[in-house]
A and B are shown apart, each in its own frame.
Chain A
């Protein structure tokens, strides 16, 4: 990506991020618009949208606990795909399956045309997939900048001897990863904390650093497990704006787990609803909002859904 347009994008995104979010909020299901105006459904080949990611018949259990049962899911290129559901519904398990942390008992993960029984975690970054974790998974002993730069570690080809002696391709790599990390920090408005140890930052900022670490590789598929958990309303809308801006800037496809239904409705193109490991709904925000089974599932655990955002 040429630098000038990138820098422009950065300024756009950080300056107008709140507005981007505001425009997103009054439930504008992008997907429906796309199919209505027959314009360009993203990634369509001869009129048929080919999914970047699809899950087929995924089943996973831990001992007697069924975490996922016969899950099918397709994620189109460029969309923001939300997964919601009560606690223990299997959302994180699903992301763990997609990223290869868990091996499903049944089913396949199809990524970019290749089918996997277990996605190779070690090659995930090379496949263009990045993720964040529900519980913070930063490298506490590294600075914010180094955390983010480590998101490019998969590309490093110099060896330790070259790095120690500062010879060969190591210097160029080091310069390159630093400057890209710095650009992402600026994009996410984190430049002022770049030299702080990641572990010393407040929770909300750590979540954002984790997003930066995932984004620096400019992944095609970004998996976000509750990126806004534990944030104030203000922080949440900021984060939502960043997620949207990241999608727009890097043409990244996003799979998003989030409990705050208000945020999800405004941000996502399509929503899959899990309950006890089963998918009970999969539709646009408006349709999900009025789905009786979804309402039942949430009413059943009303106390867990303190965020209040009513369906």
Chain B
């Protein structure tokens, strides 16, 4: 009946699931065979944990439009909760500890999301700082959380699933990969569901959303809960699979900003964006230090590295905000379209 005009009739359309499935096939089938332990320990494990945290924050900030600077607090809550569930609940399987840790993080997320019912933008961001400082303070102050360990730094339990040990680099990688894959898939389903559309509606026009009957308050708190759940689980992966220690120090404000930068650089309101951003954030300092040592030799010590990292990263974020506000994802899609187009016209 209606004539449908197709804008990109010429561009070949790949099925949407193809790229993720290929990537997963490589991640499960190829990487464990050829990866060095450096690749797992220094690159892939932090990449997976930060990607998942980015996915979580993107649901809250990218989709629902609520800015948060408390991500690291929710990671910490997840990590310590999982540690304590594992320690104190006899016979609870690892997956159970992780799930409950997510629930604890979600509950804390709801509490610190309450200000969002009244506050917006900058003011909300400042109020989420309260979560950041409170959680870190509580974890340091009450040694019960770290099982009264003198240093406050505790060893994470060894990963195992139904008696099958996963504490080698590859085992931890596969474990992290699986958790990240499952949660990312669910997050993808969520953002294309009615609830996900409600998130976007509230972000784009809260008054209109309220007028058409979207339960604005409930939906905002739901965004905080789901986002914090995912970030909490990312915290577990960070502590259990990557660092193998649980300590409050790693979950400071810097980490919160890092996750915010990940979604800004990668692309707001994009699940893929979190992975792009995390890849850049993880690989960038390593590449920078190699380049620095190559160019400057011994002059390039860790102090110089740290400083140059901050400067270059800051510049990068400003550049992205100005030139490509939709992030690496948008850049990538443009390049890919060009390539496909060029390939077609040959």
Whether B3 pairs with A153 at a CB distance below 8 angstroms is no
Known A170-B194, A191-B2; contact A150-B204, beta-carbon cutoff 8 A: no
Whether A141 pairs with B210 at a CB distance below 8 angstroms is no
**Interface residue ranges of B157-216 to A (CB < 8 Å):** 186, 189-190, 193-195, 197-198, 200-201, 203-205, 207-216
Which residues in A have their C-beta under 8 angstroms from that of B201? 139, 142, 150, 153
**Interface residue ranges of B216-234 to A (CB < 8 Å):** 216, 222, 226
Closest A residue by C-beta to B188:
A164
Which of A75-83, A86-94, A125-133 lines the interface with chain B? A125-133
Which residues in B have their C-beta under 8 angstroms from that of A154? 212-214
Q: Is A73 an interface residue (CB 8 A)?
A: no
Q: Is B79 an interface residue (CB 8 A)?
A: no
Q: Is B311 an interface residue (CB 8 A)?
A: no
Q: Is B271 an interface residue (CB 8 A)?
A: no
* The residue from B4, B212, B226, B269 contacting A213, defined by CB atoms under 8 A apart: B212
CA distance in complex: A286, B3 (Å): 42
Which residues in B have their C-beta under 8 angstroms from that of A174? 193-194
CA distance in complex: A137, B207 (Å): 8
Which residues in A have their C-beta under 8 angstroms from that of B216? 122
CA distance in complex: A212, B200 (Å): 18
Least Cβ–Cβ distance between B61 and chain A, in angstroms: 13
* The residue from B204, B210, B214, B215 contacting A142, defined by CB atoms under 8 A apart: B204
Q: Is A124 an interface residue (CB 8 A)?
A: yes
CA distance in complex: A217, B215 (Å): 16
Which of A21-29, A155-163, A270-278, A300-308 lines the interface with chain B? A155-163
Q: Is A99 an interface residue (CB 8 A)?
A: yes
Known A146-B197, A192-B4; contact A153-B212, beta-carbon cutoff 8 A: yes
CA distance in complex: A106, B204 (Å): 32
Whether B200 pairs with A122 at a CB distance below 8 angstroms is no
Least Cβ–Cβ distance between B55 and chain A, in angstroms: 14
CA distance in complex: A170, B190 (Å): 12
Which residues in A have their C-beta under 8 angstroms from that of B1? 186
Least Cβ–Cβ distance between B332 and chain A, in angstroms: 18
Least Cβ–Cβ distance between B233 and chain A, in angstroms: 15
Closest B residue by C-beta to A163:
B193
CA distance in complex: A186, B1 (Å): 10
Select the residue from A99, A122, A131 with max chain B CB neighbours within 10 A.
Answer: A122
**Interface residue ranges of B1-19 to A (CB < 8 Å):** 1-5
CA distance in complex: A186, B190 (Å): 28
Which residues in B have their C-beta under 8 angstroms from that of A140? 204
Q: Is A205 an interface residue (CB 8 A)?
A: no
Q: Is A149 an interface residue (CB 8 A)?
A: yes
Which residues in B have their C-beta under 8 angstroms from that of A217? 212
Least Cβ–Cβ distance between A118 and chain B, in angstroms: 13
Whether B222 pairs with A160 at a CB distance below 8 angstroms is yes
Least Cβ–Cβ distance between B185 and chain A, in angstroms: 9
Whether B186 pairs with A173 at a CB distance below 8 angstroms is no
Closest A residue by C-beta to B269:
A141
Whether B3 pairs with A192 at a CB distance below 8 angstroms is yes
Q: Is A104 an interface residue (CB 8 A)?
A: no
Which residues in A have their C-beta under 8 angstroms from that of B205? 137-139
5 pairs of A and B residues whose beta carbons are closest in the complex: A154-B213, A125-B213, A163-B193, A137-B208, A160-B195
Can you list 18 contacts pairing A with B, beta carbon distance less than 8 Å? A101-B211, A121-B210, A122-B215, A130-B212, A137-B208, A138-B208, A139-B200, A139-B204, A139-B205, A140-B204, A141-B200, A150-B209, A151-B212, A163-B194, A164-B186, A186-B1, A192-B5, A217-B212
A residues lining the B interface (CB < 8 Å): 99, 101, 121-126, 130-131, 133, 137-142, 146, 149-151, 153-156, 158-160, 163-166, 170, 173-174, 177, 186, 191-192, 213-214, 217
Besides A125-B211, A125-B213, A139-B200, 10 more A-B contacts (Cβ < 8 Å) are: A122-B216, A124-B211, A137-B208, A141-B203, A149-B197, A153-B214, A160-B190, A160-B195, A192-B4, A213-B212
